[in-house]
Amino acid sequence: MILVDRVQMQAIDRYAIEVLKVPALSLVERASMAVLKHINLNKFGYFGVVVGVGNNGADGLALARNLLARYKDVEIFIIGDVEKASPEFKLNLESCEMLCEEIYYVESIEDLENMEKRLSNVNLIVDAIFGTGLNRPVTGIYATVISIINNVMKYKISIDIPSGLDASTGQDLGEVVDADLIVTMQLMKTGLYEREAYKRKCVIEDIGIPQKAIDSVIYGLVN
Ligand SMILES: NC(=O)C1=CN([C@@H]2O[C@H](COP(=O)(O)OP(=O)(O)OC[C@H]3O[C@@H](n4cnc5c(N)ncnc54)[C@H](OP(=O)(O)O)[C@@H]3O)[C@@H](O)[C@H]2O)[C@H](O)CC1
Ligand SMILES: [K+]
């Protein structure tokens, strides 16, 4: 099994997008569908989707959109400055705004209290706060959000990496989402593999990143 750290995964993503011209939006869409296939839609019908403003969040919004497309009940919680968000995030947010009335920006204590109340009523929480972009300890409102997610005791799916976990070292960078299932994109991450507790909850899903991108970064094969 190929293992990559977060720097290698980011380099592979970049190579796929910038050199091999794979549209980032298609990777995000494939990621969202890769998570959707692991949700029993006969069992789960009311979702809390908690997103950061990077591409992990874009994956989460694309998943929210695909759930809304099936008339599932979805509440979306956004943490961070949307101005900083990627084009893929903004495109998916635009569509979610057309399909969903329950989009909440989490900034204040009241927003956190509202999120906690609403998450206590859903039956599945999607963790799309941080993925391979987590690069420093989780503090402030992000730490509070993750502890709320863990405290409401719902079935939790983490997209790519449980938010709060260092994808390279497996170190907890503060609060870590206690995911029931982790759907990691394309390749197993060293930080997941080295922690048995995470490894056994992990599935790896192909999202269409060309093997050439992987080979170019892992083996330095550039032709
Ligand atoms: N890159 C691709 O083509 C694909 C990526 N996929 C998904 O995207 C994530 C990686 O996305 P990225 O935008 O690089 O980063 P994250 O979404 O993981 O993180 C968002 C930003 O959060 C900031 N950050 C980092 N640590 C902290 C922290 N402790 N507190 C607050 N904010 C933090 C950081 O930005 P800064 O500018 O603040 O440094 C991050 O950029 C990957 O995991 C996949 O889920 C697609 O799946 C496939 C295509
Ligand atoms: K995540």
Supply the DSSP string of 153-202, one letter for each residue. Answer: --EEEEESS-TTB-TTT--B-SS----SEEEEESSEEHHHHT-HHHHTTE
The first and second tokens of residue 108, run together, are 């204040």
Question: Going by CA atoms, what residue is nearest to atom 37 of ligand 1?
Answer: 84
The first and second tokens of residue 107, run together, are 């900034």
Q: Cα–Cα distance between 48 and 107 in angstroms, integer?
A: 17
Question: pLDDT truncated to tens, each residue of the chain (223 aa)?
Answer: 999 999 999 999 999 999 999 999 999 999 999 999 999 999 999 999 999 999 999 999 999 999 999 999 999 999 999 999 999 999 999 999 999 999 999 999 999 999 999 999 999 999 999 999 999 999 999 999 999 999 999 999 999 999 999 999 999 999 999 999 999 999 999 999 999 999 999 999 999 999 999 999 999 875 4
Q: Cα–Cα distance between 214 and 223 in angstroms, integer?
A: 13
Closest ligand 1 atom number to CA of residue 129: 17
pTM of the prediction?
A: 0.97
From the CA of 129, how far away is ligand 2's center (Å)? 5
Q: What is this model's ipTM?
A: 0.96
Report residues near ion ligand 2: CB below 5 Å: 56, 127, 158-159, 163
From the CA of 42, how far away is ligand 1's center (Å)? 31
DSSP for residue 92:
H
Q: Cα–Cα distance between 90 and 154 in angstroms, integer?
A: 28
What integer pLDDT is reported at residue 20 of this predicted model?
Answer: 98
